[in-house]
Structure 1
Amino acid sequence: MLHLTLMTQLLAAPLPLDVQDHQLDNGLQVLTVRRMSAPTVSVQLWVRTGSRDERPGITGIAHLFEHMMFKGSKKLGPEEHARKVQGLGGQLNAYTSNDMTVYFENVAAQHLEAILELEADRFQSLALSNTMLASEREVVKEERRMRTDDNPVGKLVEAFITTAYQTSNYRWPVIGYMEDLNKITLDDCSAFYKAHYNPKNVTIILVGALEHADALAKVKTHFGAWPAQKRPARSYTPEPAPKEARRKTLSFATQTPLLLGGWQIPGASDEDIPALQVLGQVLSGGMSSRLYRGLVYEKEMANYAAGDVWEFAGKGQFYLWASARPGVKIEAVEAAMIEAVEGVREGGVTGEELDRARAQVERQAVYSLKRASGIAGLLGRSLIYYGDWRPALHYLDKLKAVEAADVQRVARRYLDPKLITSVHLLPEAKP
Structure 2
Amino acid sequence: MDTLCSRMLLILCLAPLMSLAAPPAPTHRFTLDNGLNVLVREDHRAPVATSQLWFRVGSADEAPGQSGLSHALEHMLYKGSSKTCAGEASAILQTLGARENAFASKDATAYYQTLAPQYLGVAFELMADLMSTAHLHGEDLTTELAVIREERRTRTDDNAHDLAIERFTAVAHLASTYRTPILGWMHDLHRLNVDDLRGWYETHYSPGNATLVVVGDVQPDQVKQLAQRYFGRLAARSIAPARRPTELAQPGERRLTLHLPVPTPQIIMAFNVPALATAKNRRSVHALRLIDVLLGGANSARLVKRLQFAEQLFSNAHTSYDAFTRGDSLLLLTAELASSHADDLDAAEARVWQLIEELQASPPSPAELERARTHLIARQIYRQDSIVEQAHQLATLETIGLPWQLMEQDPDELARVTPADIQQAASVFLTRKRLTVAHVLKEAAHE
User: Aligning the two structures, in what range does the TM-score lie when normalised by the shorter sequence?
Assistant: over 0.9
C-alpha displacement of 1:116? 1.0
Aligned to 2:40, the other structure's residue is in SS state strand
Matches within 5 A, 1:308-319: 308-311=320-323, 312-319=325-332
TM-score for the superposition, normalised by structure 1: 0.93
Residue from 73, 88, 99 that aligns with 1:91: 99
Aligned to 1:389, the other structure's residue is in SS state coil
Find the aligned partners of 1:330 and 1:384 in 2 and give their Cα distance: 40
Aligned to 1:204, the other structure's residue is in SS state strand
Find the aligned partners of 1:111 and 1:46 in 2 and give their Cα distance: 20
Identify unmatched segments of 5+ residues in structure 2: 1-21
Higher mean displacement: 199-208 or 68-77: 68-77
Q: Which residue of 2 aligns with 1:241?
A: 249
Q: Contact between 1:206 and 1:376, CA under 8 Å: does it hold in 2?
A: yes
1:379 aligns with 2:394: yes
Matches within 5 A, 1:204-223: 204-223=212-231
C-alpha displacement of 1:386? 3.1
Q: Which residue of 2 aligns with 1:124?
A: 132
CA deviation vs aligned residue, 1:317-372 (integer Å, no higher than 9, x gap): 01111001124222222122111111211122122211111111111111111222
Residue from 56, 63, 72 that aligns with 2:71: 63
C-alpha displacement of 1:15? 6.2
Residue from 388, 394, 399 that aligns with 2:414: 399
Q: Contact between 1:266 and 1:316, CA under 8 Å: does it hold in 2?
A: yes
Find the aligned partners of 2:441 and 2:82 in 1 and give their Cα distance: 50
CA deviation vs aligned residue, 1:47-104 (integer Å, no higher than 9, x gap): 0111111100101111111111232222222222222222211111122111111111
Residue from 305, 320, 334 that aligns with 2:317: 305
Identity %: 31
Q: Which residue of 2 aligns with 1:287?
A: 299
Find the aligned partners of 2:350 and 2:198 in 1 and give their Cα distance: 50
1:278 aligns with 2:290: yes
Q: Contact between 2:43 and 2:215, CA under 8 Å: does it hold in 1?
A: yes
TM-score for the superposition, normalised by structure 2: 0.90
Cα gap change, 1:243/1:379 in structure 2, threshold over 3 Å: closer, same or farther? Answer: closer
Find the aligned partners of 2:345 and 2:96 in 1 and give their Cα distance: 52
C-alpha displacement of 1:255? 2.3
Find the aligned partners of 1:15 and 1:415 in 2 and give their Cα distance: 37
Higher mean displacement: 307-316 or 360-369: 307-316
Please report the RMSD computed on the Cα atoms of aligned residues, expressed in angstroms: 1.6
1:326 aligns with 2:326: no
Find the aligned partners of 2:249 and 2:155 in 1 and give their Cα distance: 29
Which AA in structure 2 matches 1:142?
Answer: E
Matches within 5 A, 1:242-257: 242-257=250-265
Identify unmatched segments of 5+ residues in structure 1: 1-13
Aligned to 1:259, the other structure's residue is in SS state strand
Q: Which residue of 2 aligns with 1:9?
A: none
Residue from 227, 237, 247 that aligns with 2:235: 227
Find the aligned partners of 2:348 and 2:86 in 1 and give their Cα distance: 49
Q: Which residue of 1 aligns with 2:19?
A: none
Aligned to 2:177, the other structure's residue is in SS state coil
Find the aligned partners of 2:82 and 2:353 in 1 and give their Cα distance: 56
Q: Which residue of 1 aligns with 2:13?
A: none
Aligned to 1:31, the other structure's residue is in SS state strand
Cα gap change, 1:237/1:105 in structure 2, threshold over 3 Å: closer, same or farther? Answer: closer
Q: Which residue of 2 aligns with 1:360?
A: 375
Q: Which residue of 2 aligns with 1:3?
A: none
Q: Which runs of 4 or more aligned residues in structure 1 lie more than 3 Å from their structure 2 counterparts after TM superposition?
A: none
Residue from 161, 178, 188 that aligns with 1:153: 161
Q: Contact between 1:169 and 1:236, CA under 8 Å: does it hold in 2?
A: no
Higher mean displacement: 189-198 or 153-162: 153-162
Which AA in structure 2 matches 1:412?
Answer: S
Which AA in structure 2 matches 1:298?
Answer: A
Find the aligned partners of 1:81 and 1:162 in 2 and give their Cα distance: 36
CA deviation vs aligned residue, 1:93-144 (integer Å, no higher than 9, x gap): 1221111111111111111111111111211111110122112211211111
Q: Contact between 2:245 and 2:326, CA under 8 Å: does it hold in 1?
A: no
Find the aligned partners of 2:402 and 2:359 in 1 and give their Cα distance: 33
